[in-house]
């Protein structure tokens, strides 16, 4: 790989790996491209945050950009990247046409994070108290935008095998436009378990998740109202610690020490918190993608109890590192069993290691990622020729999104 290949990442937000799984995934992608000789510039229209990673420590150049501003055109022409990676479809909508117009030869990649249309449709079905059906996706407004974005890009990274299936079966997306790319972590051994706190050295149940993410807030509500009372009834000394970045006032109001329910706020080091906990509780009722909190539990040797949505596409056909159930009574019973039964807990711990090693090996996926990017760099014209729908959408985007952006820019100048 030539040392001068240039990658521009356009981020929806600045990476916060200690705040969300999305931030962790972005740093994994940066790591892979860096290891393969890419010079990386990370640009974002987001405001700086107190918890954003210092990109300079990873030899990544940071650049603030603006929405609906032709200054971006000058910036990208000067940078002239070989590859552009869009962080979520909303960013591709805003900047994709500018990239295509000013750097037409640049390979365009999309990291979907998760399928937003799937998460939105499931949330809507949940709130309307009805079962979610895959056909619901076809009438979802955000699906039209998200699928158009996928079609316009040369390759999209899809984090979940279930979402790969949805894109191929429901939306009929050509598999040549998609690459399965789960979370990527290092291999673990049973010796690694010996370095972790033992069953006896751990205490408490724990939940951890970014509260800007609606499924996390809903999960904590569900824990507080439906599951925790059942656990406390059978296990009066039980304590649950709830951690998460950006807790709102309504989250903080759930803090009830007398009932063993503690809202702890942001975790300085989520890994350390989970390592010291005995069981992770994650009764997730809607969402998409993969759940970083549950992979983190496995890496920390911590057993977990979750739902079918929580475990979806996370463990292939391997047994879960704890229990998966959608029944409230079962959930509470399983949580208590794991907490008290050392043998059961240690079996769950080993199952977690097996899942990490089978499903999330960095080496297994990173080589293919770079191979695919190099293939596109060598012959993007042929690839695009076979993506007629993508070129059609690019054509119409250049006639609609482009002029809407130009109108906003002109309007802003007159203010």
Q: Where in the chain is the domain with CATH 3.40.50.2000?
A: 6-184+362-414, 190-359
CB–CB of 111/88 below 8 Å?
yes
pLDDT tens digit string along 31-83? 999 999 999 999 999 999 999 999 999 999 999 999 999 999 999 999 999 99
Mean pLDDT of the chain: 94
How many other CB atoms are there within 10 angstroms of residue 414's CB atom? Answer: 5
Q: Choose between 124 and 394: higher pLDDT.
A: 124
Give a three-class secondary structure readout of 346-399.
HHHHHHHHHHHHHHCEHHHHHHHHHHHHHHHHHCHHHHHHCCHHHHHHHHHHCC
- Give the pLDDT band (50/70/90) at residue 408: confident
Nearest to 299 by CA among 181, 161, 193: 193
User: Would you call 297 helix, strand, or coil by DSSP?
Assistant: helix
Domain 6-184+362-414, what architecture? Answer: 3-Layer(aba) Sandwich (3.40)
- How far apart are the C-alpha atoms of 352 and 359, rounded to whole Å? 11
pLDDT at 2 > cutoff 60: no
| Biggest distance spanned by C-alpha atoms of the chain | 70
Alpha helices in 153-248 (DSSP H): 161-169, 190-194, 214-222, 228-234
Is the pTM here over 0.85, yes or no? yes
Tokens 């051994």 locate to 189
Which tokens go with 45?
């229209």
CA dist., res. 239 & res. 260, Å (int): 4
How many residues belong to the chain? Answer: 415
Per-residue confidence at 391, pLDDT binned at 50, 70, 90? confident
Architecture of domain 190-359: 3-Layer(aba) Sandwich (3.40)
């Amino acid at each position: 790989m030539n040392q001068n290949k240039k990658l521009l990442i356009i981020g929806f937000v600045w990476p916060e790996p200690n705040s969300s799984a999305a931030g962790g995934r972005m740093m994994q992608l940066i790591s892979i491209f860096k290891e393969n000789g890419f010079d990386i510039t990370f640009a974002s229209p987001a405001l700086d945050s107190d918890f954003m990673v210092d990109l300079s420590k990873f030899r990544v150049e940071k650049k603030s950009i603006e929405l609906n501003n032709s200054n971006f055109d000058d910036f990208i022409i000067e940078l002239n990247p070989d590859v552009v990676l869009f962080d979520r479809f909303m960013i591709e909508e805003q900047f994709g046409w500018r990239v295509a117009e000013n750097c037409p030869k640049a390979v365009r990649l999309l990291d979907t994070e998760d399928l937003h249309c799937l998460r939105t449709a499931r949330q809507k079905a949940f709130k309307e108290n009805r079962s979610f059906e895959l056909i619901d996706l076809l009438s979802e407004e955000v699906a039209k935008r998200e699928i158009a974005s996928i079609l316009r890009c040369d390759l999209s990274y899809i984090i979940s095998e279930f979402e790969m299936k949805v894109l191929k079966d429901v939306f009929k997306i050509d598999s040549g436009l998609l690459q399965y790319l789960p979370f990527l972590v290092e291999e673990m051994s049973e010796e690694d378990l010996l370095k972790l706190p033992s069953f006896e050295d751990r205490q408490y149940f724990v939940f951890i998740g970014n509260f800007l993410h609606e499924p996390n807030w809903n999960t904590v509500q569900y824990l507080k109202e439906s599951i925790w009372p059942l656990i406390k009834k059978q296990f009066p000394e039980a304590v649950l610690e709830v951690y998460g970045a950006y807790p709102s006032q309504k989250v903080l109001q759930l803090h009830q020490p007398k009932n063993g329910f503690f809202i702890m706020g942001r975790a300085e080091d989520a890994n350390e918190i989970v390592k010291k906990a005995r069981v992770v509780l994650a009764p997730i009722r809607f969402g998409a993608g993969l759940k970083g909190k549950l992979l983190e539990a496995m890496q920390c040797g911590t057993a977990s109890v979750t739902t079918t949505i929580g475990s979806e596409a996370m463990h292939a056909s391997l047994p879960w590192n704890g229990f998966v159930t959608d029944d409230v009574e079962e959930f509470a019973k399983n949580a208590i069993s794991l907490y008290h039964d050392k043998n059961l807990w240690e079996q769950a711990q080993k199952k977690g290691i097996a899942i990490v090693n089978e499903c999330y090996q960095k080496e297994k996926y990173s080589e293919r990622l770079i191979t695919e990017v190099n293939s596109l760099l060598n012959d993007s014209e042929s690839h695009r020729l076979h993506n007629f729908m993508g070129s059609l959408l690019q054509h119409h985007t250049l006639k609609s999104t482009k002029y809407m952006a130009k109108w906003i820019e002109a309007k802003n100048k007159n203010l």
